[in-house]
Amino acid sequence: MNKFIATLLSLAFLTLPTYGIEMAPIPEVEAIETEEVVTEEVKELPYNYESTYKVPIKLGIVEPITTKGETLYEGQTLQFKVLQDTYCRRKTFLKKGTIVNAKIETLISSGMNGFPAEIILGNFEIPGTKPSQLVDTYTKKGQNRCYIVYPIKWALTIIPFVGSLTNFIKGGHARIKAKDEIVIYYYPDWK
């Protein structure tokens, strides 16, 4: 019984420092409570995406382009024309035929295994709008030949190395033709 009491006492004694550690922050907490409550100012964000009202702007390219022949480069300015009169809250916002500039953001060349080439456009300069009010990234891909490549590859896997030959099938080039309709969105209520 004495041993049991001695063990309990020793346990209580040994755990005292732990309580000490746990209790240590209490004065700090009290100190905080007595201090004046300082409210942090909420910074105004440079954007506000609350509004869902959007105006679709339909564009067509002036000069057709293609990734074939390495004539395109990133940062290149391209011209587009507005395909139809565009209205924003019942007022004419853009007239048909207005010329709009845009840039090639990124070019992805076609690759093995049927990977298609890709043109990513952005930075559309629409008169009377701010870049922050536009959702203006447009991507045009070439023909994705992986739908042909992968089944053939798997079918030929039974013959050693032959399936790998499909690696050399390249994807299609990306083209933006004059008749292609490019739609970008203008959010007039966004900052």
Partner 1 sequence: MKKIITFLVLLLCTTPVFAATTSSDITKETEIQTRIDSVAVKLLNNNKITKRIIFAYDKRAKKKALSTDKALTKRQIIIYDGLYQHIQTDDELAAMMAREIATAMKSYDGSFGGWIDSAQVALGSKKFETVSDKRAVDYLVNAGYNPLAVIIFINKTCPQKRHDTFSRHNLTSKRLARVYEYITFKYPQYLENNEYINNEYYQNFLLTSVENRKKLEKKIRTKSTKDVDYE
42 near partner 1 (CB under 8 A): no
* Strand arrangement of the beta sheet that strand 99-108 belongs to: 134-135, 182-186, 55-61, 77-82, 99-108, 118-125, 138-141
157 near partner 1 (CB under 8 A): no
> Which residues have a Cβ under 8 Å from the Cβ of 133 and sit 6 or more positions away?
186, 187, 188, 190, 191
73 near partner 1 (CB under 8 A): yes
Beta bridge partners of residue 101, listed in sequence order: 79, 125
- Interacting residue with partner 1 among 84, 98, 143, 144 (CB under 8 A): 144
Q: Kindly state the tokens that stand for 79.
A: 């011209």
168 near partner 1 (CB under 8 A): no
Residue 140 C-beta: closest distance to partner 1, Å: 12
Q: Kindly state the tokens that stand for 17.
A: 């420092």
Site residues for partner 1, 8-27, by CB under 8 A, read 10-11, 14-15, 17-18, 21
Which C-beta is closer to partner 1: that of 29 or that of 90? 29
| Cα angle 84-89-94, degrees, rounded to a multiple of 5 | 30
**d(Cα 178, Cα 61) in Å, to the nearest integer?**
5
135 near partner 1 (CB under 8 A): yes
SS3 (DSSP) at 113: coil
- Interacting residue with partner 1 among 54, 68, 72, 88 (CB under 8 A): 72
**d(Cα 137, Cα 122) in Å, to the nearest integer?**
5
92 near partner 1 (CB under 8 A): no
Binding piece for partner 1, criterion CB under 8 A, among 27-35, 46-54, 154-162, 175-183: 46-54
111 near partner 1 (CB under 8 A): yes
Q: Kindly state the tokens that stand for 108.
A: 């992805």
Binding piece for partner 1, criterion CB under 8 A, among 34-42, 44-52, 56-64, 92-100: 44-52
* Residue ranges binding partner 1 (CB under 8 A): 3, 7, 10-11, 14-15, 17-18, 21, 45-47, 49, 70-75, 105-106, 108-109, 111-113, 115, 122, 135, 139, 144, 146-147
